[in-house]
Amino acid sequence: MLLEMKEITKTFPGVVALDKVSFNLKENEIHALVGENGAGKSTLIKILGGIYKPDSGEIFLNGKKVEFNSPLDAKRHGIAIIHQELMLAENLSIAENIFLGKEFGSPLNLNFHKMVEESKKYLQMLGFEIDPQTKVSKLNVSEKQLVEIAKAISSNAKIIVMDEPTATISEHETQILFEIMKELKEKGISIIFITHKLGEVYQIADRVTVLRDGKLIGTKNIEEISSEELVKMMVGREIKEMFPKYNKVQDEIILEVEDFEVIGYVAPVSFNVKKGEIFGITGLVGCGKSELALGLYGVYRTKFKKFIIDKQPLLELKSPQQALKAGIVLVPEDRKSQGLVLLLDVVQNITLPNCDIFAPSLNIKWKKATETTKKQIKDYNIKVSGEHQKVKNLSGGNQQKVVLAKFLLKKPKVAILVEPTRGIDVGAKIEVYKLINNLANSGIGVILVTSEIPEITGLCDRVMVMHRGKMIEILEKGEITPERILKAGTGLVENV
Amino acid sequence: MKMSKILTFMRKNPALVGFIVLFIILSIFTESFFNISNIVNVLRQVSITAILGFGMTLVIISGGIDLSVGSIFAFSAVVMASIVKGGKVLLGIIVGLLIGAIMGLFNGVVISKGKIQPFIVTLATMAIGRSLTLAYTQGIPISIFPNNFRFIGRGDILGIPVPVIIMFGIFFLVLYLLKKTKLGLYIYAIGGNEEATKLSGVNVERYKIIVYTISGLFAAVSAMILTARLNSAQPTFGQGYELDAIATVVLGGASLSGGSGGVLGTLFGALLLGTINNGMNLMNISPFYQDLVKGVIILLAVLLERSD
């Protein structure tokens, strides 16, 4: 056994994050670690990475007991962690990043040439053809992941932990990553792979370990467990339907745009959204779908021939204020950097976009705001200790519900939801799906911008597929299949 | 459990704790500290820094910094003084305050429309303001004003000095702004997460401009008090005041990265600094050591706050 973690317990003030959890990793193995948010996955990984010290329990590497007092300690023992938020120095080159902290040459005269040459070797191992002198800031997320992996291999890591590497990359890039993971496995590196996407577990993992509420639920060989059983282990109950769909599309058009261009990002597109419709926009990372969404919300500079919302033509769209006034809301992609002010509490966050209701003059009617917030907390089933809890202390799923609650309070005509289920657990996802249906049924036109193909096939009435800043096609209800979406999304369909 | 709660409170309010400790020490070890006239005296001295600090509190909560308050202080003081000296007291006050507000407005517009770091913009305004002051006065102080103007610095109402009344007036105004109005909410939100605030439909640029304008205006108010008290406006006025103002805010528990802090903390920050100065005078410690003690106390307070 390469790695054994035995009966690890870790408590934080007020919570038992891990309760006697055991975990092991074989040589040449890809081991998936799954569980809902708050299950204890990150804590376990942080203990393995030397960031936290366990209260009790032991760690063995190749049968020898080890103790990690710092992240550096763990690194020296051949453990590399690739965090979800990548830890690269953006302004340095790929080569400089790979050899950061273990540079060649003397401190006063670094041997850049050798670092570049060595980097090439590692990058080639990953099939990544690029000049190692390229600045990391020029790379996209999946390329940055490859740099992190190269960095890990270059420090002779025997165990690589990947924390949700597929959350922010496209389907296509995921497949490339999986090929690399398989190759690494053959070269004798074991991988611990954290994911929320169960399909991936079956595609890549040899074994799977499930955690729930800080407890070990079980470790299984992948052949031994069906996906229904796996979901049941994760959520502790049976889930009947992953994608509830009960919205009714009305005849009336709520939003119509003609030749809508996001300058510098998206070539002119024309489309319409009906009342009660869930209209999908999808494509690979970098296809322009997020930019199109932000453009419709007035964040980027745009041009258009026609922009009609609820029969009213819009003359200009230059700021989110104008979009909000016209009845468009946008639930942004990254709830932490775009959706919430983490230092503020739930009431304050919900009040922020709704000052037109709560503060008709300069004064905020805090009593009214608090009452409304309480109602939103109940309606959206947000788990909080109180309405004045700071949002930074909420779990990912509950933070996302606060974002939804704060924008939907505005009673929009069109709601643009960008990756609304990213990084939240299965239970919370289903709640968001139900909410999307309810929104549509209340007569709102819903634009769902997502890279999750199951969400499109499961929820959308029509879907626009984009590739490299252009609309490729709009698929009608009967045409929405994963194959069609992938084909259009990788640019294999001619633009007519 | 209870002990740790007290410790957390102390960590979050270093200025309050420091002030109380110092207050007790000085009351015991010096004879002249704990009497009404000395305490009123401390308050009067503190008012100058405190008012600057109140403006700085808004700026720092919004995630910015204002290095120009000392120069704004000086320029509005000398222009105000030159008009007041000619007998037009009210006009002088209005023009002086307007100059402060306009220089702050300038900071705000360049920062938000030009998308430049507040540190750089206000550093430039600091240099410009100082130069304007020296050019305007040719380096010569402007002194001796009518009595009704001097009343602002030296007078009292019901035994309370006018500067102290102004200080508390502004204190409650800012307290109200931060707690009860959307301006306050937006300032916290911008400092906490500008991007999310913008996407919430808040006109971030406008509110940033308002914040720097208020900071400039408060600098002018503070300048008015000192000018009236000294019966003179010096071209060297306000040098280093920006650092005192920032210190009061930081001592008050605000984070320089924005999004947190409050005006009560700043008030105690200013009281702490004022009491240190006063105490050292009373204990006959050489003024050469005053800044050293101040520096050490700032470091201690911030270290205490960070030691989570």
B62 touches chain A (CB under 8 A): no
Residue range A126-146: mean pLDDT, rounded:
88
Let me know if residue B26 belongs to a domain. Answer: no
What average pLDDT score do residues B279-296 get? 84
Domain with residue B172: its CATH number is 1.10.3470
How far apart, in whole angstroms, are the C-alpha atoms of residue A439 and residue A12?
38
- H or E, element range at A471: strand A470-475
Chain B contact set for A319 (CB, 8 A)? 203
Averaged over A101-114, what is the pLDDT? Answer: 87
| pLDDT (0 to 100) of residue A494 | 56
Which residues share a beta bridge with A463?
A280, A475
pLDDT score of B21: 86
Extents of the domains making up chain A = 3-235, 253-489
The beta-carbon neighbor of B260 closest among A321, A324, A343 is A343
Mean pLDDT of A450-476: 90
Would an 8 Å CB–CB cutoff place B181 in contact with chain A? yes
Shortest CA gap A145–chain B (Å): 25
Which of B193, B2, B157 has the alpha carbon at shortest distance from A336? B193
CB-based contact B198 A362, cutoff 8 Å: no
Alpha-helix runs per DSSP H in B64-203: 69-85, 89-113, 118-137, 147-154, 162-180, 182-192, 194-199
Among A323, A344, A362, the residue with its CB nearest the CB of B181 is A362
In a domain? residue B302? yes
The C-alpha atoms of residue B53 and residue B69 are separated, in whole angstroms, by 10
Chain A nearest CA to B285, separation (Å)? 42
Chain A contact set for B199 (CB, 8 A) = 297, 299, 320, 330, 332, 338-339
Per-residue pLDDT of B227-274, as tens digits, reads 999 999 999 999 999 999 999 999 888 888 899 999 999 999 999 999
- Give the model's pLDDT for residue A240: 65
What's the pLDDT band for B293 if we cut at 50, 70, 90? Answer: confident
Residue of A nearest to B4 (CA): A13
Residue B308 has pLDDT above 50, yes or no: no
Give the mean model confidence (pLDDT) for residues A71-79. 91
State the fold for domain A3-235.
Answer: Rossmann fold (3.40.50)
Q: What is the domain range of residue B279?
A: 36-306
- Residue B196, chain A, CB below 8 Å: the answer is yes
- Strand-pair category, A207-212 with A215-221: antiparallel
State chain A's mean pLDDT as an integer.
89
- Residue A163: strand, helix, or coil: strand
Would you say the C-alpha torsion B53, B59, B60, B62 has a positive or negative sign?
A: positive
**How far B192 CA lies from chain A's nearest CA (Å)?**
6
Task: Show which of residues 258-287 on chain B sit within 8 Å of chain A, judged by CB atoms.
Answer: 259-260
Contact B196 A320 (CB under 8 A): no
Cα of B205 to nearest chain A Cα, Å: 12
* CA A361 and chain centroid, separation: 38
Measured between beta carbons, which residues in chain B are less than 8 angstroms from residue A411? none
Residues in chain A whose Cβ is within 8 Å of chain B: 297, 299, 319-321, 323-324, 330, 332, 337-344, 348, 351-353, 355, 359, 362-364, 366, 406
Which chain B residue lies closest to A347 (C-alpha atoms)?
A: B185
Task: Decide: A211 and A180 in contact? Cβ < 8 Å.
Answer: no
Where do the H-state alpha helices sit in A192-329? 198-204, 227-235, 289-296, 320-326
Report pLDDT digits (tens) over A304-351. 999 999 999 999 999 999 999 999 999 998 888 899 999 999 999 999
Chain A residue with the nearest C-alpha to that of B205: A319
The residues facing B181 across adjacent strands are A363
Nearest to B195 among A330, A338, A344 (CB): A338
What value does the mean pLDDT take over residues A33-47?
86
Total of domains in chain B: 1
Question: Whole-number mean pLDDT of chain B?
Answer: 91
Average pLDDT over residues A105-122: 89
Which residues of chain B make contact with A330, given a CB cutoff of 8 A? 199
Q: Which of A338, A359, A364 sits opposite B196 (nearest CB)?
A: A338
- Establish if B197 touches chain A: CB-CB under 8 angstroms: yes
Give the list of residues 6+ apart from residue B212 with CB closer than 8 angstroms, or none.
B59, B64, B66, B104, B105, B107, B108, B111, B118
Whether B9 is in a domain gets the answer no
| Global confidence as pTM | 0.82
Phi, psi of A69, rounded to the nearest 5 degrees: -100, -10
pLDDT at B14: 78
What was the pLDDT predicted at A229?
Answer: 86
Residue B131 has pLDDT above 50, yes or no: yes
DSSP label at residue A138: G
Query: Which pLDDT belongs to residue A159?
Result: 95
CATH number for the segment(s) A253-489: 3.40.50.300
List pLDDT tens digits, range B197-219.
999 999 999 999 999 999 999 99
A226-280 pLDDT tens trace: 888 888 888 776 666 778 888 888 999 999 999 999 999 999 999 999 999 999 9
User: Which pLDDT score is estimated for A418?
Assistant: 94
pLDDT tens track for A190-212: 999 998 788 889 999 999 999 98
The whole-number pLDDT of residue A496 equals 43
Residues of A in contact with B112 (CB under 8 A): none
ipTM of model:
0.86
Measuring CA to CA, how many Å separate B24 from each of A319, B7, B270? 55, 19, 17
- Per residue in B22-80, pLDDT (tens digit) is 889 888 888 888 888 888 889 999 999 999 999 999 999 999 999 999 999 999 999 99
Which of residues A470 and B102 earns the better pLDDT score? Answer: B102
More confident of the two residues A356 and B100: B100
B246: in domain? yes
